[in-house]
Amino acid sequence: MPPSPTLQHTEPEALAELQRDHARALFGFLVGLTAGDAQRAEDLVQETLVRAWQHPEVLSSSHESMRPWLFTVARRLAIDARRARLARPLEVEPNGLEHAPEPQDAVAGSVTAIDIRRAVRGLGQEHRDVLVQVYFQDRSVAEAAAELGIPAGTVKSRTYYALRALRKDLQGYGLGA
């Protein structure tokens, strides 16, 4: 097997000169391409200079200036970096996590709904009717009284006793006794 050719790299002095002459202009160009993200622009400048280091043949070309080549490489790197960012899911800031809603447990929610239905069915018809009017149909005490044909005071007392019975039946849900 023939020996593999050794990798050629740009001389350190030539790379330092390239950086001195073009890094500031590259940085300004890349800040515009990265929507003002200076850190990303700095990373892209470094990556562009790494490409120049990896391709010494470009320095020995007959071009008068390396700037067009560097800007082309930098632009392509910026495009590739943007595509890579768009291809992966958005990152979540840790500060926003404390305001995120708690995940809902569908099974626990279903069990809770079944338990509540069972507890409501265990109430007397008069108490169920009052709760339906006041809580499920969002009527005021006066509106519920008019709908049910009973005095407002009766609606209040039936609501009180119905909620007390539900609270007792659903103690495991942290509703108190």
Q: pLDDT value at position 57?
A: 81
Instruction: Indicate left, alpha or beta for 49 from its phi (over 0: left) and psi (-120 to 50: alpha).
Output: alpha
**Residues 77 and 47: beta-carbon distance below 8 Å:** yes
CA angle 114, 102, 170 (to 5 degrees): 30
Of 55, 89, 123, at which residue does a domain stop?
89
For the beta carbon of residue 151, count every other beta carbon within 10 angstroms. 11
In a domain, residue 95? The reply is no
CATH number at residue 112: 1.10.10.10
In a domain, residue 141? The reply is yes
Please enumerate in sequence order all residues whose Cβ is within 8 A of that of 70, keeping only pairs 6 or more positions apart, or say none: 18, 22, 26, 48, 52
Q: pLDDT value at position 4?
A: 42
Q: pLDDT value at position 135?
A: 86
Identify the DSSP state of 110.
H
Please tell me the total count of domains within the chain.
2
Q: Are residues 19 and 68 in the same domain?
A: yes
Q: Are residues 38 and 83 in the same domain?
A: yes
Rounded CA-CA distance 46/123 in Å is 73
Q: Are residues 74 and 117 in the same domain?
A: no
* Residue 112: domain span: 107-172
Q: Residues in the chain with pLDDT < 50? A: 1-4, 176-177
In a domain, residue 4? The reply is no
Q: Are residues 164 and 111 in the same domain?
A: yes
Rounded CA-CA distance 145/139 in Å is 9
Rounded CA-CA distance 67/75 in Å is 12
CATH number at residue 28: 1.10.1740
Of 59, 89, 119, at which residue does a domain stop?
89
Rounded CA-CA distance 144/132 in Å is 9
Q: pLDDT value at position 113?
A: 81
The model's pLDDT over 141-153, given as tens digits with 9 standing for 90+, comes to 999 999 999 999 9
**Residues 10 and 59: beta-carbon distance below 8 Å:** yes
Q: pLDDT value at position 153?
A: 94
State the residue for tokens 């020995």: 60
Q: Are residues 82 and 116 in the same domain?
A: no
Q: Are residues 47 and 116 in the same domain?
A: no
Rounded CA-CA distance 25/146 in Å is 79
Q: pLDDT value at position 92?
A: 61
Structure tokens at 111: 């069990």
